[in-house]
Amino acid sequence: MIATTLSEKWITVSFSQLAMILVSAVVVYTAILTYTRIVGLRSFSKMSAADFAMTIATGSLFGSTISSPSPTLFMGMFAIFCVFMGQWTVAKLRMNSSSLAKAVDNQPMLLMAGREILHENMRQANITEEDLYGKLRESNAMNFDQVKAVVFETTGDVSVIHTADDDVSLDQRIFRDVIGSERLFG
């Protein structure tokens, strides 16, 4: 008896429940598209920690709103609206306050200066040499001599700057806020 009740709760679903999931999915999805059009594509970028949190929160709220009656459809849409407004507010404030930007954002970190691997920076970023080699392969770097710099970005991405042309020099402005960039120009 208990096993039957549990299996019914975990496996079965009524057509009315499926219909409500469908309606909720369409309504919430439309709301997310509308919010994104109003706030802008920055909502789902990976440029800062706040942007990443926004993406995760929206996905979580979307899933919970459409898959069960709690939170209600209106509550879920309002919660997603609040997340969008919070992300938009933080993005606007970051543009006007470098101290807030530093508090909210991670700072990019140099992992390689030319062919030199910066092991201390890699330890701080929790990146292994195997991770680094994988990123070098992804970027089609053929050998260490082609590598000009490798940067662990604020988003968690790894940028590999490389070229086969030895005459190409790096522009300091591109590396302005990168921890360890003095190794490239010092």
Task: List, in sequence order, every residue forming a beta bridge with 179; answer none if it has no partner.
Answer: 109
Every domain range in the chain assigned CATH 3.30.240.20: 109-185
DSSP letter (8 states) at residue 175: G
Is the pTM of the predicted complex or chain greater than 0.75? Answer: no
In tens, the pLDDT along 127-146 reads 999 999 999 999 999 999 99
Three-state DSSP class for residue 56: helix
What is residue 3's predicted lDDT score, i.e. its pLDDT? 61
Q: pLDDT band at residue 2, thresholds of 50, 70 and 90?
A: low
CATH of 109-185, one of 3.40.120.10, 3.40.109.10, 3.30.240.20, 3.30.70.270: 3.30.240.20
What digits encode the pLDDT tens for the residues 54-91? Answer: 889 999 999 999 998 889 999 999 999 999 999 889 88
Cα 129 from Cα 134, distance rounded (Å): 9
Query: What does the pLDDT read at residue 4?
Result: 65
Spell out the residues 6+ positions from residue 14 whose beta carbon is closer than 8 angstroms to its own.
Answer: none
Tokens for 65, please give them. Answer: 């709103």
The answer to whether residue 16 scores a pLDDT higher than 80 is: yes
Does residue 47 register a pLDDT over 80?
no
pLDDT at 15 over 80: yes
pLDDT at 65: 94
What pLDDT is attached to residue 50?
Answer: 78
